[in-house]
Structure 1
Amino acid sequence: MLEIRNLHAYYGKSHVLHGVDLHVKPGEIVSLLGRNGAGRSTLVKAAMGQVSATGSVKLKNEDILGLKAYQIAYKGLGYVPESRDVFPTLTVEQNLVLGEKSGKRGGRWSLEDMYGMFPRLRERRAVPAGVLSGGEQQMLTLCRTLMGDPDLIMIDEPTEGLAPKIVTLVGEYLMALKEKGVSVLLVEQKLAIAMEISQRVYVMGHGAIVFEGTPAQLRADAAVRKEWLEV
């Protein structure tokens, strides 16, 4: 579904990613772990065309590196940034409708699906998005991206700053995506949710992949966890 090979990324003269290899299979949840500053957010931004990069990024065997972000989105790659980026003066429902791709109908998701998954959004459907709580904005951003019917969705730190109850809800949401055939690349710091829902995990350190394996293999590798994950 998504195949990244020898990816290098830059902010100006700063070389951030150093030859990253990563792949996500159809219908798979893969977590990208690491400390702040490891390069995880840069990787997903580079895949989405928001950061200058070299190497290879393929979606469904089609090279997308160098395309504009909106072109990449139309190819079927969804992206939920850590900043959430709701349209604050528009209502919840208006935000959701904006996520639909023009000319595309009959996707996997509808407004009713979103409201069914997160009933709180139904209750707040006529409320400006700018007055929502952080958790509600996270739900909205996730659902708005889904309204574009992506084949793979990259989600950057979806549980950051959320209450434990909402974190559990987000985990259930991600499993629901998998059940509908949507692949997920999850950038996360909370090991618990990543290890629970992922089929495979990558660990990044200093702009490179330092571990790839199953959650069970990461649990068994105390040296990797100590060196690259634990504070």
Structure 2
Amino acid sequence: MLDICNLHAYYGKSHVLHGVDLHVEPGEIVSLLGRNGAGRSTLVKAAMGQVSATGTVKLKGREILGLKAYQIAHQGLGYVPENRDVFPTLTVEQNLVLGQKNAGASGRWSLDDMYRMFPRLQERRAVAAGVLSGGEQQMLTLCRTLMGDPDLIMIDEPTEGLAPKIVALVADYLTALRERGISVLLVEQKLAIAMEISQRVYVMGHGAIVFEGTPAALRADAAVRKEWLEV
């Protein structure tokens, strides 16, 4: 589904990613773990065409590196940024409709699906997105991306700053995506949620992959956890 090979990324003269290899299979949840500054967010931004990069990024076998972000989205790659980019003056429902890839086209997800998954959004459907709580904005951003009917969705720190109850909702949401055949690349700092819902995990350190394997393999590797994850 998503194949990243020998990816190097740069902010100006700063070389941030150093030859990263990563893949996500169809219907798979893969978590990308690591400390702040390890390069995780840069990786997903590079895949989405938002950071200068070299190497190979293929989606469903087609090279997407070098395309504009909107072109990449139309190829079927969804991206939920860490900063919850909602349109603050538009209502919840207007934000969701704007997420549709083709206006009026029917995809795998409808407004009713979004409201069924997150009833709170239905309650707030006529409210301006800018006055929502952080948790509500996170729900909205996730759902708006889904309205674009992606085949794979990259989600950057979806549980950051959320109450435990909402974190559990997000975990259920990601599992529901997989059950609908959508692949997920999850950038996450909360080890528990990543280990619970992922089929495979990668650990990044200093702009490179330092571990790839199953959650069980990472649990068994105390040295990797101590060196690259634990504070």
Aligned 1:139-158 pairs, distance under 5 A: 139-158=139-158
Using the TM superposition, give the Cα deviation of residue 106 of structure 1 relative to its aligned residue in structure 2, in angstroms. 2.4
CA distance in 1: counterparts of 2:101 and 2:108, whole angstroms = 13
* Closer, same or farther: CA 103–126 of 1 in aligned 2, 3 Å: closer
CA distance in 1: counterparts of 2:204 and 2:140, whole angstroms = 28
Using the TM superposition, give the Cα deviation of residue 225 of structure 1 relative to its aligned residue in structure 2, in angstroms. 0.2
Using the TM superposition, give the Cα deviation of residue 221 of structure 1 relative to its aligned residue in structure 2, in angstroms. 0.2
Which SS does the other structure have where 1:204 is aligned?
strand
Aligned 1:156-167 pairs, distance under 5 A: 156-167=156-167
CA distance in 1: counterparts of 2:224 and 2:83, whole angstroms = 29
Matched, 1:67 2:67: yes
Using the TM superposition, give the Cα deviation of residue 55 of structure 1 relative to its aligned residue in structure 2, in angstroms. 0.2
Matched, 1:131 2:131: yes
Aligned 1:137-216 pairs, distance under 5 A: 137-216=137-216
* Closer, same or farther: CA 104–184 of 1 in aligned 2, 3 Å: farther
CA distance in 2: counterparts of 1:55 and 1:100, whole angstroms = 30
The more displaced of 134-143 and 96-105 is 96-105
Corresponding position of 1:78: 78
Q: With structure 2 as the length reference, what TM-score do the two structures score? A: 0.99
Corresponding position of 2:45: 45
| Cα-Cα RMSD | 0.6
- State the AA in 2 paired with 1:84: R
Per-residue deviation, residues 54-76 of structure 1 (Å, max 9, x unmatched): 00000000000000000000000
Unpaired runs of 5+ in structure 1? none
Using the TM superposition, give the Cα deviation of residue 104 of structure 1 relative to its aligned residue in structure 2, in angstroms. 6.7
Q: With structure 1 as the length reference, what TM-score do the two structures score? A: 0.99
Corresponding position of 1:217: 217
Using the TM superposition, give the Cα deviation of residue 90 of structure 1 relative to its aligned residue in structure 2, in angstroms. 0.2
Corresponding position of 1:89: 89
- State the AA in 2 paired with 1:15: H
CA distance in 1: counterparts of 2:102 and 2:141, whole angstroms = 18
Which SS does the other structure have where 1:87 is aligned?
coil
- State the AA in 2 paired with 1:60: K
CA distance in 1: counterparts of 2:106 and 2:147, whole angstroms = 11
- State the AA in 1 paired with 2:193: I
Give the share of equivalent positions with the same residue, in percent: 88
Using the TM superposition, give the Cα deviation of residue 83 of structure 1 relative to its aligned residue in structure 2, in angstroms. 0.3
CA distance in 2: counterparts of 1:194 and 1:19, whole angstroms = 24
